[in-house]
Amino acid sequence: MVASEHARTLAVVAAQAAADKKARDILVLDVSDRLVITDCFVIASAPNERQVQAIVDSIEEKLLAIGTKPVRREGTGQGRWVLLDYVDVVVHVQHNEERSFYGLERLWKDCPRVEIAEDGSVSTVPSGSADPSRADPAS
């Protein structure tokens, strides 16, 4: 199974919104083969709580502009790991320390990455076939 077009669109918007606020190491994973509850994870990080919150605000604003609100938000009070659940896409914005400690990309390393080109086009890269640092749409 491959992530739906709707999920890919939401993930691209979320990733670009994160990049607009200087998120680091943005990664989009197609988890549709492993999970039945969502199609994509968007993972991004920031060096401090204030920037984590700015990234979250940007993502929510951009997705609301296309008519999508999260069904659940977790972690906004602490600003260390914020989870936004959009059903088809789950966004994780983490403080650099939490990202390093929990290593979501290591846990889901067998899932294909969704590469986002600067023009917004999307392609899927099979797991383990390219450098994950290239998944950042801001680079």
Instruction: Indicate the domain borders of the chain.
Output: 5-117
State the 10-residue block means of pLDDT for the chain, 139 residues long. 87 96 95 91 97 98 97 92 97 97 92 76 58 42
Which structure tokens are listed for 41? 């994870």
- Give the strands of the sheet with 122-125, arranged side by side: 72-74, 81-85, 89-95, 40-46, 24-30, 113-116, 122-125
Give the bridge partners for 115, in sequence order: 123
Give residue 125's pLDDT: 66
Give residue 121's pLDDT: 55
Q: What topology does CATH give the domain 5-117?
A: Beta Polymerase; domain 2 (3.30.460)
Give residue 127's pLDDT: 65
- Look up the pTM and report it: 0.84
**All residues at 6 or more sequence positions from 126 whose CB lies less than 8 Å from its CB, including other chains:** 112
CA 125 to chain centre: 16
